[in-house]
Each structure stands twice: as C-alpha cells, then as structure tokens.
Structure 1
Amino acid sequence: MHSLKIRDELRTERSFINQALDSLADIFYVIDSAGNVQRCNEQFATLAGYTDEQLANLDAVSLFPDDEQDAVAGAIEEALSTGHSTIEAEFRTTEGKRVPHEFTADRLTDQNGDLIGLVGTGRNISERTRRERELQDQKEQLEQFAATVSHDLRNPLTVIQGRLELVQAEHSSDHLAVIETATARMERIVEDLLWLAREQQEIGSLEPVSIDATAEAAWNLVSDPADEAELYCDYEAETQPLVKADTDQFRHLLENLFRNTIDHAGLDVTVVVGGIFEDTNAFYIEDDGPGIPVEDREKVFEAGYSTSESGTGLGLNIVKRVADAHGWDIRATESSMGGTRFEITGLEVVE
C-alpha cells in the first residue's frame, strides 16, 4: 500500500509538472549529450509539427533550416563545454515557416554531477525582430535623408553665400544683410537636421570634462567678438569638479544653448554658467534676456518650437536629446537676472 501511495504521488507530481510546462508560451526542451530530444513541452511539439513519439530521440539540429544548423550545433557544444549558451535562430515549423526564437541552454547533471545533457527554453522573438528591421529601415532612410540634405542643400547654399560675398564687396544694401541672415539660418537648419539624422542619441565614450572650459570653447564658436554678448563663469576653476560626458556631444549641447540665448535675448545678452554641486550634481546657464513664459517652458524642447525669426526650432530639441542620452534631466525656469535659466541635473562627477 505504501508503494502504491508513493507511485500515485509521483504520478500526480509528474502530471502537475507536465501541465505547468505545457502551459508555457515558450518552448521547453531537454536533450541528451548527443543532441537528441529527450523531453519537450506541448509548445515545442506543436511548433515543430511532430508527435511526442516522433520527437523522441530526434536530432534537435534537424529541426532547424540547413543554413542555421551549424550555428545551432555550435551552441549545443558551447553549452555542453561551458555550461551555458544563448543563440538566436529560426525554428522550422511543419509548414516550412521560419520562426525566429532566442534559445538558451544550460548543462544538466544528475545527483552525482555526471552530465546528462542540456535543458533550455526558446522564446519567440518575431515581434522584436520585426521592430529591429523597422528600426534598421528607418536608420537607412535617415542616412539617405542626411545624404540628400548634405548634397542637395549644402551645395546650393554654398553657392549663394559665395555670390553674396562678391555682391557685398561691390554694393551695400539692407537687402543684402537680410539675405545674409537668411542664409546663415538656413545653414544652421541644415546642420541641425544633419545632426538629428546622423547622430540621434548615440553617445560615445564618457570622459572627464570641465564645464567652464567646454562652455568657453562653445561660446567662442557661436558668439561674434564684435557683439556685446558676454559669458561669465560663476565659480573658481579650482573648485569645479569634472563631470563625465561625451566631449563632442556636450560641446554641441552648449553651442545650441548659447545660440538659443543669443537668438532670443539679443546680441548684448549676458550669460552666466555655474555649477550646483553641494546638494545635487548639476550646472546651469542663465541670461538677462526676456525669459520664457511659464506656460511655454516645457514646449521649448519640442522640435520645431521657436519664438524667434532667426531660430531653427531644433536647437533646444537637440539639447534635450543629448541630455537624455547622457541620463541627465533639463528644465527651463527663471534666472536670477529675470531672464531664462536652464538647469541640467543628474551629472556624474569625477571623484
């Protein structure tokens, strides 16, 4: 009687385990050290289009298309030798369809530690694969767009600027100044569009950078010495910690912030850059311009939003993208001078 009770308990437990495995949406399998199927769940059998009897001792590699079999065999050998492997491969269904899965395999041993085979799962990644293909298509479209912008817009723009300089050397007119301003704005739009198309949110290696040194370099690129705009740093260089950032992207962020300030606050604007490192790792850029209305302070980071005729509507959106890519937060508020203050928080300080 005791042995019958044990047998019934084992049968009940086995039935429970089988039901649990069959309820999985993922493939479950056990193969021996020779790579032959020893056990699988209902999802595995249904997808393969075989009965349990047909699957018993079937070579697992044979369930994959010919061009996938070498990679699958290699993954099995890797798991047997190292204890684990992961591979993306297309499982072949009974209708001949190829369904992409991500398979994992782990070494399976008995109670004495002797190798039995492998146990693993396979997850359908059709949706993920579809999204990856869509993203790749979008990337290729953006690259094509960038090439079009670079060639079909830059070249005529260069011609216009060159001819404009020749005309300005011989004639003086307010109309020419308007054309010069318009071409400068077009050039900035082209630069911003190229950045958005090519760079997106790709951040390279993070290096220790000085905020004030990078700010001065960015300011020198966007400001005109003939104007009255001035930049001040609100702390001593000796007390300023370095922060981790992609140097080129960080400078690009500052360039766009400074351009935005000059566009909206005027050529005689005063700009202050400072750090807040006691309570939070942050820095700010503020000016004495007209400021941004409270209701517009979140909108300014949207692509295409601009209240200046000389603005591109892309600069602050690029700033937001670079900040996001670094894991920083940025917000617009009122400055101590009554103008605009941009605060960027979440920086990683170099100890």
Structure 2
Amino acid sequence: LDAVSLFPDDEQDAVAGAIAEALTTGQSTIEAEFRTAAGKRVPHEFTADRLTDQDGNLIGLVGTGRDISERTRRERELQDQKEQLEQFAATVSHDLRNPLTVIQGRLALLQAEQSNEHLAVIETATDRMERIVEDLLWLAREQQEIGSLEPVSIDTAAEAAWKLVSDPADEAELYCDCGADTQPLVKADTDQFRHLLENLFRNTIDHGGRDVTVVVGEIFGDATGFYIEDDGPGIPAEDREKVFEAGYSTSESGTGLGLNIVKRVADAHGWDICATESSMGGTRFEITGLELVE
C-alpha cells in the first residue's frame, strides 16, 4: 500500500516530499490532513524515521501520527479573535480618537478665550477618555506579545516613566532605593516594562493624590524583584486580588484597565505581581521572578 495514497490529492505532494526527506536525512515531520475510511479529512502531525539494519543498510521507514484536530481548532479560534481585536482597535482608533481630538482642540480654543470651572471639568473628562482609548488600544494590539529581552535599569526606567506620568506642578515625589553603588539590571521588553511602570505610577497618583510619595526598591532573597510603594490610603486586604481585574477601579479618574495591563505585562514576562500594605501605610506592589543581569 502506497502511504501517499492515504492522503487527499492536495496533500500528496507535500507528504511525498516529507518521505523523501526522511529517507535522505533520517527524519522528517509534517502536518497534513489524513483521509479516513469514511472519507473525512482529519489534521494530523506525522513523524517519519529511517530504519536501517546493523550494517546501516536501509530497511524502510517507520511513521507515527497524532490527531491535532483540537490544536488546529484552537489556532483557528485564536486567529479569529486576533482579527476581531484588530478590527476593534481600528474602530477605537478612528471612531473614538478622531472626535476626541476635535473636542480637545475646541476646548483649548475656549480655554484661551475664557476661564470657566466647567471647562476644567470637561478637560478632566476628556483626559480620562484619552487614557481609556490608549488602554483599550494597548489591550487590543499588544496583548501578551513580548519582544526581545534587553538589560533594563530599574532606577532609570522608573525615573523616565515617572516624568511621563507625574505633573511637575504637583507635589508628588519619587524616591529610588535600589542601591547607590550599582543600579540593578533586569531582562525585559523595554517598551512593555515602561508601560508597566507608567500604569503603576498612574495608579499611585490616582489613588494617593497629587502629593503622594512613591518609593521604588529592590527585593532580595528567594524572590528577586522590585517593589513600588506609596503613602496613600492603601487597598483593603479583601480587594488586593480584585485590583488586577479589568474594569475594577475605586477612583473616579481611573480607567479600571491600568492594573490589568500591569498584570498582563508581568504574566507575559513570567513574573509574579501582588499587592500588599506598604511600610508607609499605603499600597505596595511587589514584582518578583525577574532575571537579573550579572
């Protein structure tokens, strides 16, 4: 029985090529649809190995196959979800961001002409809308895809993220307590790591206030990592796991997505993150499982 004939016509050339490869190199693997006795096409992964006698002479081939229908189904579902997310991201970017830009532009013109408490409220609301749009776009486009891992200084990355998030006019302060002699380097996707820090800092300002004090420091011992803690109101013990859920927020200015993004970035790197009480009575986020660069 010719093994190639067990496959549908459109798969036979590829299967014949895999057999030839196994005869030449000793082994080959191929994914192809196998035709059952009932004529049904079922996706399989096949591995072929060359058989030889004790003198090295070719005897034949032995092949094994496994049904990959479930994996193929999941891959199709993931591809469909990816396409839906890409469409969602395009809709958010165009249908929400464009009119928001118009609102912000007209608002700036009004603020230049007059001072009004209602305009300040509108500005706060539009700023929050912009953050929601940015977070939604990140969740739709980035997901958990991590790029190349590079050495990143925790201190330097934290200070850069803080400058982007904090307002110089406010009294909020950041202190880095990672050691004066050497700045610890960790392996991370630099863009994703920056996004993680920005969202953690926004969370501290949203909940701790414009005069919050934030400290970044190292964690030593069995669990290597770093922490970010503040002197804000803290998080009740019963809510410390909920804060990472999408949509959860106790702040009027929060989007309910920031800490979920933080959790996704940490998970994608293989890190652990938890919320607990800080030494200052506020909130402390601990990120552990990082790989240090020697």
Q: Same fold (TM over 0.5)?
A: yes
Residues 1:122 and 1:312: Cα distance change in structure 2 (over 3 Å) = same
Matching residue of 1:216: 159
Distance (whole Å) between structure 1 residues aligned to residue 138 and residue 216 of structure 2: 25
- Provide the alpha-carbon RMSD of the alignment: 1.1
Distance (whole Å) between structure 2 residues aligned to residue 66 and residue 215 of structure 1: 59
Spell out, residue by residue over 1:137-194, the C-alpha distance to the aligned partner (whole angstroms, 9 max, x if none). Answer: 0110000000000000000000000000001111111111111000000000000000
**What are the ranges of 5 or more consecutive residues in structure 1 without an aligned counterpart?**
1-57
> Secondary structure of the residue that 1:101 maps to in structure 2?
strand
> Secondary structure of the residue that 1:85 maps to in structure 2?
strand
Spell out, residue by residue over 1:187-208, the C-alpha distance to the aligned partner (whole angstroms, 9 max, x if none). Answer: 0000000010010000000000
Distance (whole Å) between structure 2 residues aligned to residue 74 and residue 272 of structure 1: 61
Spell out, residue by residue over 1:270-297, the C-alpha distance to the aligned partner (whole angstroms, 9 max, x if none). Answer: 1000112355311000001000000000
Matching residue of 2:150: 207
Q: Is residue 212–residue 237 contact of structure 1 (8 Å, CA) maintained in 2?
A: no
Q: Which is bigger in relative contact order (C-alpha 8 A, separation at least 6)?
A: 2
- From 149, 155, 171, the equivalent of 1:228 is 171
Percentage of matched positions with identical amino acids = 90
1:156 counterpart letter in structure 2: P
Distance (whole Å) between structure 2 residues aligned to residue 257 and residue 83 of structure 1: 53
Distance (whole Å) between structure 1 residues aligned to residue 276 and residue 38 of structure 2: 61
Alignment of 1:136-215 (within 5 A): 136-215=79-158
Moved over 6 A (4+): none
**What are the ranges of 5 or more consecutive residues in structure 2 without an aligned counterpart?**
none
Matching residue of 1:331: 274
Q: Displacement of 1:240 after TM fit?
A: 2.7
1:109 counterpart letter in structure 2: T
The structure number with the bigger radius of gyration is 1
TM-score normalized by the length of structure 2? 0.98
Distance (whole Å) between structure 1 residues aligned to residue 222 and residue 59 of structure 2: 57
Distance (whole Å) between structure 2 residues aligned to residue 116 and residue 198 of structure 1: 52
Residues 1:236 and 1:134: Cα distance change in structure 2 (over 3 Å) = same
Matched, 1:87 2:30: yes
Q: Is residue 240–residue 275 contact of structure 1 (8 Å, CA) maintained in 2?
A: no
Matching residue of 1:296: 239
Residues 1:237 and 1:75: Cα distance change in structure 2 (over 3 Å) = farther
